[in-house]
Copies of this chain bind each other. A is one copy, B any other.
Amino acid sequence: MSQLIEISDPADPRLADYRDLRDVELRKHLEAEHGLFLAEGEKVVRRAVEGGHAARSFLMAPRWLEGLGDVLDRSDAPCYVVSEALAEQVTGFHVHRGALASLERRPLPSVDSVLTGARSVLVLEDIVDHTNVGAIFRSGAALGFDAVLLAPRCADPLYRRAIKVAMGAVFSLPYARLEDWYDALPQLSAAGFTTVALTLADDARPIDEAVAGLDRVALVLGSEGHGLSARWQQAADRRAIIPMQAGIDSLNVAAATAVACYVTARR
């Protein structure tokens, strides 16, 4: 059962996990070094804990204690009870969804293990925006995908903003980090997946035709800025496009992913 500890000094060292949450670079460093991540909001905190992540601590104003009562009852981590003003002072932003939790990262599963039994997977090359990563996880989970593979430079799904946008889908949709960028797609093909790259390339076929009748599919998505690398475009088994109106450059990567997942799930 979580022990409630009132804290009124913003410099209290027990609040270290929650400091300066808006400073992306600082947080990346701190979270990697200490193997932690932050969850925000009652629903997301609950899903993180139910997803098997051990809490290091909780932080919230008194009015959020009741809603998370059952989660706190089952946890041994301390719950720091603070005023909303102090929460804002420590984190650097107005915590309008109330509760925060600092949780322990777990070792990521291997690529092989997340692919076992999977029929539809997403492969993200260099998606660097946490909002996009979160949105892609949310759509993938909702539309029936089984796993996500991340290229070495893809943004961290356990970054606070990604978790929030994903509405916790980062805890339910298994994912792994690819170690070998160069040969990642041929290795997926060898594992029995047809790799389908979403691209604006001239030889791309409409997505519904590209996935029709396929068994195991790996849908491959590139970065929001420059799209897929030349290597991955060439290495993919098929290239697919979402047909668009003349004169429009492209869809946002999260919107394109939602459409592609919907179509692929119904292949």
Contacts and interface: CB of A to CB of B under 8 A. Distances in A.
Contacts of A249: 167
A147 B151 CA distance: 38
A184 B245 CA distance: 28
Q: Interface range on chain A: under 10, 10 to 19, 20 to 34, or 35 or more?
A: 20 to 34
A214 to B, nearest CB: 19
Interface string A223-267: 000000000000000000010110111111011111100110000
Copies of this subunit: 2
A55 interface: no
A139 interface: yes
Contacts of A254: 135, 252, 254-255
Contacts of A15: none
Given A256-B258, A259-B258, A262-B259, A245 B135 contact: no
Contacts of A247: 172
A138 B258 contact: no
A142 to B, nearest CB: 4
A248 B168 CA distance: 10
21 contacts: A135-B252, A135-B254, A138-B251, A138-B252, A142-B244, A142-B245, A142-B248, A142-B250, A142-B251, A142-B255, A143-B245, A143-B259, A165-B252, A251-B258, A254-B254, A254-B255, A255-B255, A255-B257, A258-B258, A259-B259, A262-B263
Interface of A: 135, 138-139, 141-144, 165, 167, 169, 172, 242, 244-245, 247-252, 254-259, 262-263
Given A142-B245, A169-B248, A254-B254, 14 more contacts: A138-B251, A138-B255, A139-B252, A141-B245, A142-B244, A143-B242, A252-B254, A254-B255, A255-B257, A255-B258, A256-B258, A258-B258, A258-B259, A259-B259
